Amino acid sequence: MAYTHTHASGPAAASIDVVACTRMFGTVARKVLRGLLGDLDELRQAAAITAGLAAPAVGQLRGTLDLRDDRIPAPLTVGLDAP
């Protein structure tokens, strides 16, 4: 996720990421309100932003759960590294 790199750079980078996410959620909220007032283009943009933020989060969660439960998939490149 967006926060995986922050452990090395400290709390300053984490707070910058939190500020960026907060601003993005504010932008989405404004676009949804405008969409509810009749501007369908704004509503479509809000949906695209939400999908763009949700997709990597779902992938990160699934990968974390797979690693925790030892359900690591077999590599797709089996045999390519053999001499």
Q: How high does pLDDT run on average in the chain?
A: 77
Of these ranges, 18-22, 23-27, 71-75, the one predicted with the greatest mean pLDDT is: 23-27
pLDDT digits (tens, 9 = 90+) for 67-76: 888 777 666 6
Please give the pLDDT value at position 47: 92
User: Which residues are CB-contacts of 13 (< 8 A; sequence separation ≥ 6)?
Assistant: 5, 6
Indicate whether 21 pLDDT > 70: yes
Question: What are the extents of the domains in the chain?
Answer: 6-68
pLDDT digits (tens, 9 = 90+) for 29-59: 999 999 999 999 999 999 998 898 888 888 8
Q: Which stretch of DSSP H or E encloses residue 48?
A: helix 40-68
Instruction: Work out the end-to-end distance of the chain between its first and last CA atoms, rounded to an integer number of angstroms.
Output: 35
Indicate whether 11 pLDDT > 60: no
